Structures are given as structure tokens and as C-alpha cells.
Chains A and B, each alone.
Chain A
């Protein structure tokens, strides 16, 4: 069964940087698109970034565009999120999420990691 495990979270000051990692196992990582989804404390879910299987295509939500960078290393079965110029409203649990294409052209989010907390505070 697919497993995803995030790491690298913690406390960071406003304006600082942090790099999240997600270790994937139990499936052929390079064949799947991957996403980051976050959830602020007590709030709902927000998709923030997408990367295709070979890393050549990325998308971002407007809230993080220009500040966050998604990447992957298929040799290491790893997904990353480089978070730069963080703000207070980036405080959230960050989930690594696998995308699965069915018969259609759009991927559903089928496996989620347990999430990692990022707290932005001075």
C-alpha cells in the first residue's frame, strides 16, 4: 500500500525559509503526480502546489506563487516543498498527497501523508 511521510516542519520566523520533504513508498513514485495541500489550525483544506511525474510541469495556488517551489527526486522517491519568505498565514499542517489518474484526464487525490506542522512566528 502507498505510504507518504512528511518531514522538515517546525517553527520558522516570518520572512524565513523552510524545506519540507515527503518520502514515498509502496508505489512507483515516478508514475504519479504529487501535490501539497495545507490546513491552517481549525480551518479547511487548501491545495497549494502540483508537480507532474517527471517534474517538468508545476502549478501553484496564488497564495504561494513566487514564494514556494515544489520539486521531486524520483531516484529517491521524494517530494519537496521549498518555502521562502514565509508569512504568518502560512502556519498550517502541510500534507503530501498523491494524485491518481483514472479513466479521465484529471487526477484524484487518493493517498495522503499524516501531515507536518509548520508554525510561522517571531
Chain B
């Protein structure tokens, strides 16, 4: 089973700052089948990034994904008030597993 680890657990930032979230896998993820989701309280997760670096439809370009193999990063440039949420990475290369999440909250 591919296990995903996310760091940090919580990231406290001010609006306008840059957020850098990490997702690490215990084995190589085939073809970089890695996605990022955003979840706000009381809402369903929303797909932000797929295939490690492709933005989903309608996602602002301040969100970007990078990485390959076992190490992946979600970067949010110039945090907007609506970006404070929980972010999950997910691999879909072998079965499907999610990371434990990173909470981005307002400093």
C-alpha cells in the first residue's frame, strides 16, 4: 500500500503570503498520479491539482503543483481569505490513498 505523509500538519500564515505544502510517499507514485484537494468546513473536497502539476478547471493560477516520484509540493501564492482550509494529497497510481491533510489557517 502506498502511504502518504503530509507536512506540516498545520500552517499558520497571513493573507497574501505564500503557502508551501509537502506530500511524501513511501514508494514511487506511478506516472505522477498525484492529486491535491481543498476542503472547507462542512463542504466536500474540491479537486485542485491532478497528475502532480495540472490545474483542474476553474482553479486559480495562484495554485500550483510540482514534484515527482515520491516528493510532491502544493504551492499557493498570495493566499486569499478563501484559501484557508484543509488540503489533502491523494495518489491514484496504485489503488487510491489520501494523505492525512495539512490545515492552512490564518495567523
Which residues on A are within 8 Å of B, measured CB to CB? 35, 44-47, 50, 59, 61, 95, 102, 104-110, 112-115
B40 is an interface residue with CB less than 8 A from chain A: no
Beyond known contacts A50-B96, A102-B54, A106-B31: 20 more, CB 8 A cutoff: A44-B98, A45-B37, A45-B88, A45-B98, A47-B97, A102-B51, A104-B31, A105-B31, A106-B33, A106-B92, A108-B35, A108-B50, A108-B51, A108-B92, A109-B35, A109-B92, A112-B45, A113-B44, A114-B44, A115-B44
The 10 closest A-B pairs by CB, nearest first: A47-B96, A112-B44, A108-B50, A45-B98, A106-B33, A106-B92, A44-B100, A44-B101, A110-B47, A114-B44
How many residue pairs link A and B with beta carbons under 8 A? The number is: 57
Which chain B positions have C-beta within 8 A of A115?
A: 44
Which residues on B are within 8 Å of A, measured CB to CB? 30-31, 33, 35, 37, 43-47, 50-51, 54, 56, 88, 90, 92-93, 95-101
Asked if residues B90 and A45 are in contact (CB atoms below 8 Å), the reply is yes
Partner of A47, one of B31, B43, B95: B95
Q: Could you jot down 19 A-B contacts, CB within 8 Å?
A: A35-B96, A44-B99, A44-B100, A45-B88, A45-B98, A46-B98, A47-B95, A50-B96, A95-B44, A104-B31, A104-B51, A106-B92, A106-B93, A108-B33, A108-B47, A109-B92, A109-B96, A110-B56, A115-B44
